[in-house]
Amino acid sequence: MSLELPTDKRGKLLSLLAEFSPGKVVSLRQWSSFVGSINAACPAVKYGRLYTKRFERVRYLELLKNNDNYEAKILIPESLSSVFDWWRRNIPSSSNPIRQGNYTREIFSDASTTGWGAFCDGHKARGFWTEREQKFHINRLELLAALFAIKSFAKEIKSAEILLRMDNTTAIAYVNKMGGVQHPNLHRIAEEIWQWCESRDIWLVASYIKSKDNVEADQESRVQNIDTEWELADYAFRQAVETFGYPEIDLFATRCNTKCEKYFSWDNDPEALAVDAFTKDWHSIGLFWAFPPFALILRVLKRIVIDRATGIMIIHSPPASRKTVPDGRHIIRESFRRRGLPGPALDIFEASIAESTRKQYAGPLTQWWWVFCVDQGIDPYQPREEEVIKFLTKKFEDGAAYGSLNSIRSAISLISGSSIGQNRNISRFFKGVFMLRPTKPKYDRIWDVSVAFQKIEEWFPLNELALDCLGERLVLLLALGTAHRAQTLALIKLSNMKHNVEGYEVEISDRIKTSRPGAYQPLLILPYFSENPKLCIASTLDAYIQQTSHLRGDIDHLFLTTKRPFRTASAATIGR
C-alpha cells in the first residue's frame, strides 16, 4: 500500500514550480504559500520532506531580515535550482509506501571527542576525527557518526528499512525530520545521510537508546590507539606527485589520511572503495599510491611483480638518531620547506626571524625538543597536542622555569606551523606553571641616577681622561640621554652622524629590537648642553671621536674596544 497525489494535485504543483522559479521576485506571503503547498504534498512524495528544508530556510532568513513583513519582496535564489529540478522530476511519478517497520538491519552509532564508533550484528567499525572535525560541536559529530555507521554497514543494501540507534536527541530529530532550518551545519550532514539513502532506496528511522545500553558503539568511539593513523607528510607527497604524476588510488589508508579520492582501507571504513588491498587486482586500478608499514614492504613488492602493477611506493627511512641532531638554523629552514614554500622564498622567510631569536630557539630545539622526539618516535615538525604537553611537563619536572618553557613553546609553534601558542589546553598548562612556579622580574630594584651624574661630573675635564674612562662616560650619557639599549649604541656609525654648531643628529640605519614594518628608525638628537658642560653629551662625543681618530682605521662604528687590537665594540661589551 502507498500514498499518491491525485492527478489534478500533481498538475497544480507543477504549475506552482514553474511560477516560482529561481531568479523571480515574489512577496514573502506568496513564497510562504508556495512552501506550504509543497509541504502538504510531502506525505505522498518519498523523500519529499528532505527537499523542503532549503525552501523553508529561505523563508526563515527573509522573515528575519524583513522583521516578519510578509509583504516584503524577495528574490528566489539561484542556489535552489537543484531543489526545483528534483520536485519537477519526482512529482509526475511520486508515491510513498506505507511502512510496516520491518527493519532489515539495526545499526548502533555513537560519537566522542576522539572519534566515532558503530556496531551491527556483532561487527564493529570505528574511526577518528580530522583536525578540522575535532572542533565541531558534539551534535554535529553525532550526525557524522550516524552517516559513517550506515555507510559502513549498509553499503550493499537496497530497497530496505534500517533502524538507527543513537543516544543524542538532537541528532535523532535531524535524521527523522530529514534536516532542519536554523542550523545549516547540522542540516548539511542530515541531507547527506538522506541523499545517500535515497540513492539506494533505503528508508531510515532513528531511535533513542540510553548511553549505558549503547556499549559497543560507545567503546569504539573512545578508542585512542592511533598506531594505524600515520601518513606521509603533505610536502613529501607533493614532491612525489610532481615527479611521478598523481595516483588514482591509495592502497593503505583511512578516511582521515588518504592521499587520493579513492582508497582501500585496513578495516571497515565508511568511504573506502574496498577493504584489504591484497584481495584486489592491482593491475587494473591504475597508478597506485602505497606507503606501507615496514613489515609489509616485501609483500607489497611481491604483489607488484605478480600483478604487473604500476604505482608510487614510498619506503620510510629508519628513525633519526640522537647522534645526528641538525642545528637550529637547519630545523627552522626545513620547517618552512615542509610547508611547500618555493625554494627561492626560503631565504626570505628565514630573514623574518631575528638572529637573536634564532639563537634563543636553537638550544631548546636541538638539545631538548629534537632529542625528546627521537626518543618518543615523534615527528618534530608535526606533533600532536598531547605530545607537546608531555614534553613540557617533563621539562617542568626537570626544573625548567616559566620563561624557558614559554620560549620552547614559541620555538615548537614556529617549526610545526600549528596554533600551539593559542591551543586552549597548552594555555591552561602555562597558567598552572605560573601558579606553581611564578616568574621573577628581571629587574627587581631601581637605582638613583643622581649617583651616576655625580660620577660623570667627576670625569672632567675631557682632555685629561683615559680612553676607557671617556668611553664609559659617553656610554652612560647616551644611555641616560636617549633611553636606548646597548644594542642601539653599538650600531651608531660615524657615517650616519651629522654635526653642526648646535650638536649632533645620529641616524640608526640598522634594524634594532623595536624596528617594525612601516615605523621610522631612531633619530638621536644630541645638542650641546652649555648650562652644564660636565654633563654635555655632544662635547663628550667630540672628545671621544678626536681621541679615537688615530686608532679606528677604517672602522665606521663609533665605539671601539679599549685594548689592542682595536675593533668595533659589541653590544655586550658596551653593556659591561
Per residue in 398-413, pLDDT (tens digit) is 888 888 888 888 888 8
3-class DSSP state of 25: strand
Which helix (H) or strand (E) segment holds residue 454: the answer is: helix 449-458
Sorting pLDDT into bands at 50, 70 and 90, what band is 165?
A: very high
Helix (H) or strand (E) holding 455, with range, is helix 449-458
Q: Residue 233: pLDDT above 80?
A: no
Give yes or no for residue 226 having a pLDDT over 60.
no
pLDDT tier, 318 (very low <50, low <70, confident <90, very high otherwise):
low
When comparing pLDDT for 225 and 97, which is higher? Answer: 97
CA angle 423, 424, 429 (to 5 degrees): 100
Percentage of residues in the chain having pLDDT higher than 70: 95
Show the cell assigned to 115: 572519534
The whole-number pLDDT of residue 231 equals 76
pLDDT in tens, 191-215: 999 999 999 999 999 999 999 999 9
* Residue 340, phi-psi category: left (phi > 0), alpha (psi -120 to 50), beta (remainder): left
pLDDT of residue 338: 79
Among 382-391, 394-403, 510-519, 543-552, the range scoring the smallest mean pLDDT is: 510-519
Of 15-24, 137-146, 255-264, 345-354, the poorest mean pLDDT is in: 345-354
pLDDT > 80? residue 39: yes
CB 456 within 8 A of CB 535: yes
pLDDT of residue 236: 80
Q: What is the pLDDT of residue 228?
A: 53
C-alpha span between 424 and 454 (Å, rounded):
53
Grid cell listed for 124: 564493529
Q: Which residues are CB-neighbours of 192 under 8 A, at least 6 positions away?
A: 147
State the amino acid at position 358 in one-letter form.
R
Average of pLDDT values for 110-130?
92
Residue 41 and residue 90 in contact, taking contact as beta carbons nearer than 8 Å: no
What's the pLDDT score for residue 325? 64
Q: Which letter, b or e, does each residue of 386-423 get, where b requires 16 or more Cβ atoms within 10 Å of its Cβ?
A: ebbbebbeebbeeebebebbbbbbebbbbbbebebeeb
The three grid cell numbers given for residue 239, joined into one nine-digit string: 614532491
Q: What is the pLDDT of residues 359-370, one digit of tens each?
A: 888 888 887 888
How far apart are the C-alpha atoms of 144 and 423, rounded to whole Å? 24
Given this model, what pLDDT does residue 294 score?
78
- Max CA distance (Å), the chain: 117
123 touches 153 (CB < 8 A) = yes
> Can you give the pLDDT at residue 41?
93
Percent above pLDDT 90 for the chain: 42
Q: Given this model, what pLDDT does residue 421 score?
A: 67
Number of other residues whose CB lies within 10 A of the CB of residue 367: 12
Number of H-type helices and E-type strands within the chain = 22, 17
Residue 353, judged by CB atoms within 10 A of its CB (0-12, 13-18, 19+), counts as: middle
Please, what's the b/e burial string for 40-69 (b: 16 or more CB within 10 A of its CB; e: otherwise)?
Answer: ebbebbbbbbbbbbbbbbbbeebbeeeeee
Q: Is 70 exceeded by the pLDDT of residue 173?
A: yes
Q: How many CB atoms lie within 10 A of CB 109?
A: 34
Which pLDDT score is estimated for 42?
93
* Terminal CA-CA length for the chain: 97
What confidence category does residue 317 fall into, taking pLDDT thresholds of 50, 70 and 90?
low
Give the model's pLDDT for residue 351. Answer: 82
Mean pLDDT of the chain: 87
Higher pLDDT, 276 or 229: 276
